[in-house]
């Protein structure tokens, strides 16, 4: 009887373990079969109680006391604290040799990723400009290992070797999986150079809080529990070298009492510091759902300050080469201004140049002359697909007062049409409306075509405003 019970318990235990790994595996199955979308991964984890994978940072600084001063503070900055930083971002999709990958990635997914980065970093005046994506078809490279062969840094070097690396952008690699080593196949959600401009992310985690987390490492942020386990009490006290993140430890969902209250079940003590709470909704804390999700995760002001000082003091020599202008954010990532056709005879929106602007911002398309007059607006989750002629663009996250890039369509030489209202020789309620075709370069030809008498001519001037003029044509 006793033995039977033991067998039963063992069986239940095994089933539980299988269940847990099944849940992990299931996400990729669901993504493969298109049952869930990448942006639904977090909510799927939440509702199915799946613990997300952890992350590894690839340190260059700050791992010992000698680097303490460097990590702690960077001194006053000469650059204005309100400076706006725009960084290019480029994505590498890692595929099998034949171009196949189990979890499909679309451009929409990648634009969603750029939008997530902007939403997470914009409050610190750090912006991201989408520069596109490319594929690397190499089965051997599509899985990244922390140790041994096929490491992340080797992948970066390989990408440089085949001329696919982008030295003008953050390089974000999307891998089919990241594992500790050939011998320890434990999966990891992401790895980032710290500081640096390269990171790799497990494809399932592309649209989760892991993405801003990795870029946080790129901007020189540590985990909030970074120094917790160090023997040196000075390091333990400095923690992650950020003033407003409380001393923390690594933890799992079971360690938290009452969901995301951030309170620990068990008080930890080290170097005389009592840890009762952890910043469970911080992007740089342990990944525990639903506490660290895109819905509620954030960086603190102190982390924002550390990131900006790291950029200003060029903690990574590469930050400079991947910056772009503020104006670049006002350029569509798709579309052609030369293809815009203005047709005065048609009031419908047939003047589209196939524009697409990256989402993640609040846009207003305003009158070029009166920038308080809004003609079209789009919210953060919408992709603006027009740039109405004679409007300029406001991105409210950058400035509520400044509008850039007034769109004045190029006049083309095609045949066009003006509305002419002819009254004859006396201006009265009797009139006839004509639509008269003309070529913009041949104004004289137009006047030859209009009827005798008083004519009210309606046309658009170069600024796009409707203007009317009355002319009298004699016999």
Quickly list DSSP for 390-411. TEEEEETTT-SS--B----PPP
Q: Which is nearer to Zn ion, 241 or 355 (CB)?
A: 241
Polymer length of the chain: 475
Q: Which is nearer to Zn ion, 57 or 203 (CB)?
A: 57
Q: In this structure, are residues 228 and 239 in contact, taking their beta carbons and an 8 Å threshold?
A: yes
Q: In this structure, are residues 110 and 133 in contact, taking their beta carbons and an 8 Å threshold?
A: yes
Least Å distance, CB 231 to Zn ion, is 22
Rule CB under 5 A: which residues touch Zn ion? Answer: 55, 57
Quickly list DSSP for 155-221. HHHHHHHTT---TTSEEEEEESEEES-SS---B-SEEEEESSSEEEEEGGGTTSTHHHHHHHHHTTP
| CB-nearest residue to Zn ion | 55
What's the token pair of residue 187?
């999966």
Q: Which is nearer to Zn ion, 57 or 112 (CB)?
A: 57
Least Å distance, CB 125 to Zn ion, is 23
Least Å distance, CB 1 to Zn ion, is 49
Q: In this structure, are residues 388 and 340 in contact, taking their beta carbons and an 8 Å threshold?
A: no
Least Å distance, CB 146 to Zn ion, is 12
Q: In this structure, are residues 274 and 293 in contact, taking their beta carbons and an 8 Å threshold?
A: no
Q: Which is nearer to Zn ion, 297 or 368 (CB)?
A: 297
Give the C-alpha separation, 421 to 432, whole Å.
6
Q: Which is nearer to Zn ion, 217 or 308 (CB)?
A: 217
Q: Beta strand 190-194 with 263-270: parallel, antiparallel or unpaired?
A: unpaired
Least Å distance, CB 189 to Zn ion, is 8
Least Å distance, CB 59 to Zn ion, is 11
Least Å distance, CB 214 to Zn ion, is 7
Give the C-alpha separation, 73 to 180, whole Å.
32
Give the C-alpha separation, 372 to 298, whole Å.
32
Least Å distance, CB 141 to Zn ion, is 22
Q: Which is nearer to Zn ion, 58 or 102 (CB)?
A: 58
Placement of tokens 């790994």 in the chain: 21
At a CB cut-off of 8 Å and minimum separation 6, what does 428 contact? Answer: none
Q: Which is nearer to Zn ion, 101 or 213 (CB)?
A: 213
Least Å distance, CB 9 to Zn ion, is 37
Q: Which is nearer to Zn ion, 57 or 364 (CB)?
A: 57
Q: Which is nearer to Zn ion, 175 or 457 (CB)?
A: 175
Q: Which is nearer to Zn ion, 201 or 457 (CB)?
A: 201
Give the C-alpha separation, 475 to 468, whole Å.
22
Q: Which is nearer to Zn ion, 55 or 315 (CB)?
A: 55
What's the token pair of residue 437?
């075709």
Least Å distance, CB 54 to Zn ion, is 7
Least Å distance, CB 268 to Zn ion, is 20
Quickly list DSSP for 38-61. GGGHHHHHHHTTPPPP-EEEEESS
Q: In this structure, are residues 202 and 178 in contact, taking their beta carbons and an 8 Å threshold?
A: yes
Q: Which is nearer to Zn ion, 55 or 242 (CB)?
A: 55
Q: In this structure, are residues 260 and 285 in contact, taking their beta carbons and an 8 Å threshold?
A: no
Least Å distance, CB 213 to Zn ion, is 6
Angle between helices 107-121 and 210-218 (to 10 degrees): 60
Quickly list DSSP for 225-292. TTTTT-S-HHHHHHTTS-TTSPP-----GGGEESTTS-EEEEEEEETTEEEEE--TTBTTS---TTTT
């Amino acid at each position: 009887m006793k033995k039977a019970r033991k067998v039963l318990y063992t069986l239940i235990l095994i089933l539980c373990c299988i269940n847990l790994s099944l849940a992990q595996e299931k996400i990729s199955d669901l993504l493969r079969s298109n049952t869930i979308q990448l942006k639904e991964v977090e909510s799927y984890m939440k509702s199915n109680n799946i613990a997300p994978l952890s992350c590894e940072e690839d340190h260059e600084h700050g791992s010992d006391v000698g680097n303490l001063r460097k990590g702690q503070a960077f001194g006053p900055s000469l650059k204005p604290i309100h400076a706006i930083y725009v960084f290019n971002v480029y994505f590498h999709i890692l595929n099998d040799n034949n171009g196949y990958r189990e979890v499909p990635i679309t451009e929409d997914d990648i634009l969603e990723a750029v939008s997530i980065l902007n939403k997470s970093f914009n409050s610190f005046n750090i912006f991201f400009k989408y520069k596109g994506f490319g594929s690397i078809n190499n089965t051997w490279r599509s899985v990244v290992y922390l140790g041994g062969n096929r490491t992340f840094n080797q992948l970066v070097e390989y990408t440089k070797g085949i001329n696919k690396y982008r030295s003008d952008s953050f390089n974000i690699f999307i891998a089919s999986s990241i594992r500790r080593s050939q011998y320890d196949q434990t999966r990891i959600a992401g790895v980032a150079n710290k500081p640096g401009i390269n990171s790799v992310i497990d494809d399932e985690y592309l649209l989760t809080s892991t993405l801003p987390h990795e870029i946080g490492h790129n901007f020189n942020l540590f985990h909030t529990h970074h120094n917790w386990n160090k023997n040196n009490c000075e390091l333990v006290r400095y923690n992650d070298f950020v003033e407003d993140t409380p001393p923390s430890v690594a933890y799992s969902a079971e360690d938290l009492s009452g969901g995301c209250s951030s309170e620990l079940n068990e008080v930890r003590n080290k170097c005389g510091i009592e840890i009762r709470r952890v910043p469970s909704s911080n992007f740089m804390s342990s990944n525990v759902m639903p506490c660290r999700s895109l819905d509620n995760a954030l960086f603190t002001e102190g982390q924002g300050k550390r990131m900006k000082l790291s950029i200003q003091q060029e903690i990574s020599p590469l930050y400079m080469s991947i910056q772009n202008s503020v104006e670049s954010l006002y350029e569509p990532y798709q579309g052609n201004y030369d293809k815009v056709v203005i047709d005065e005879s048609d009031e419908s929106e047939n003047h589209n140049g196939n524009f697409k602007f990256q989402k993640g911002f609040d846009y207003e398309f305003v009158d070029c002359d009166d920038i308080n007059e809004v003609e079209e607006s789009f919210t953060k989750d919408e992709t603006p697909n027009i740039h109405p002629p004679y409007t300029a663009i406001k991105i409210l996250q950058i400035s509520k007062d400044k509008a850039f890039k007034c769109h004045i369509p190029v006049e083309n030489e095609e045949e066009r049409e003006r509305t002419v209202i002819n009254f004859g020789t006396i201006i009265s309620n009797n009139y006839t409306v004509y639509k008269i075709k003309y070529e913009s370069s041949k104004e004289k030809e137009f006047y030859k075509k209009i009827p005798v008498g008083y004519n009210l001519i309606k046309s658009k001037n170069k600024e796009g405003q409707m203007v009317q003029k009355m002319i009298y044509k004699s016999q």
